[in-house]
A and B are shown apart, each in its own frame.
Chain A
Amino acid sequence: MQYEVLNCEDVADVLADCARGESALPVEARRHVEQCLRCQAEVVQYRKLLRALHKMRTELLEPAPGLLAEVLVGLEVAGERQALRSALAGKKVAYIGGIAAAATAAAAGGAIVLVRTRARRLAS
């Protein structure tokens, strides 16, 4: 069976995925790596690199003092704004409701006047 001949550059991109265990090397790439000391060394280096990166996950960096207070103050301000906006939105609804009620009443009044005027005209 014929296999494609690969060089280091061809397999370079899959070495890290392989070291991370994300994917198995394709047959041609594995054949190359098995014969290539340089690529084998790269796989080992990727393993060390990825292990060191993974360990960083549990490390916490300490910010200069004051960050927590800054965040909480920012949230306080945002919370107040949000509450104010909700309150204004509530008032807006009441205001619009009032206008609508007044307009309906005015329309009804107008209709009554109109009907009465017509009735008088017809009577005269």
Chain B
Amino acid sequence: MPEEVAGLVAAAQAGDRKAFDELVRVTYLDTYTLAYRLTGNEEDARDVVQEAYLRAFRGLKRFRGEARFSTWMYRITANCASTHLGKRRRHRHEELTDEVVDELHSGADPEASLEADSLRAQLQEVLRGLPPKLRAVVVLRDIYDLPHEAIAAELGISESAAKVRLHRARRKLREDLFPMPADDDACNDRDAHAV
């Protein structure tokens, strides 16, 4: 698969339009999956995929092959999703908020949520419920394994801001997936004394 993609990239860079179409055919499900995870809905994900391939087409000559084509596409997709969601927020002032998460948890059984199968399903839901800014960093870092530097560059934020968002996102996901019982003396700070 990577060899096939590398061959298609080389042909497309040499001006073969059909090779680029084939490249789209081979990679679009992966790109769509990332776009959907970043935007949280089908309509926006489709727009982002369209825009991402147009940008890739226009910028293909600049792709040097230092990273994999898929990683390059992830970065373009992340950048498009960030721009797209930014525009949408300016127009509609709408964002997925905690309301969605509360709704998801209203009928959830905390014990059942610990089972492996339901964990995955529930993770998809709580991920969708995260605010887009937090969702983007955790998706790009913990699912797609992009470095902090690349995430910061594509989202137009500083690396330290990306790290802060990542911590917040992970914590929110953990708290939503594994709700803790009310604070008791489980945290035995007394034993953490200086030695």
Binds A, one of B96-104, B138-146, B151-159: B138-146
Known: A13-B167, A31-B195, A53-B123. A63 touches B143 (CB 8 A): no
Q: How far is the CA of A50 from the CA of B32 in the complex (A)?
A: 22
- Judged by DSSP, the binding face of B is helix
Contact B28–A67 (Cβ < 8 Å): yes
Besides A5-B189, A70-B46, 11 other A-B contacts (C-beta < 8 A): A2-B195, A3-B194, A5-B194, A16-B167, A31-B195, A35-B188, A36-B187, A37-B187, A49-B173, A52-B119, A60-B29
- In the complex, what residue of chain A is closest to B184 when comparing beta carbons? A38
Interface residues of A in 86-104 (CB under 8 A from B): none
Residues on A with C-beta less than 8 A from B170 are 16, 46, 49-50
Asked whether B50 is an interface residue with its Cβ less than 8 Å from the other chain, the reply is yes
**Interface size of B as a range:** 35 or more
Interface residues of A in 48-68 (CB under 8 A from B): 48-50, 52-57, 59-64, 67-68
Binds B, one of A72-80, A105-113, A115-123: A72-80
Contact A67–B174 (Cβ < 8 Å): no
Residues on B with C-beta less than 8 A from A13 are 167
Q: With both chains docked as a complex, state the minimum distance between the C-beta of A38 and any C-beta of chain B, in angstroms.
A: 4
Residues on B with C-beta less than 8 A from A42 are 174
Residues on B with C-beta less than 8 A from A52 are 119-120, 123
Asked whether A24 is an interface residue with its Cβ less than 8 Å from the other chain, the reply is no
Contact A36–B192 (Cβ < 8 Å): yes
Contact B54–A54 (Cβ < 8 Å): no
Asked whether A114 is an interface residue with its Cβ less than 8 Å from the other chain, the reply is no
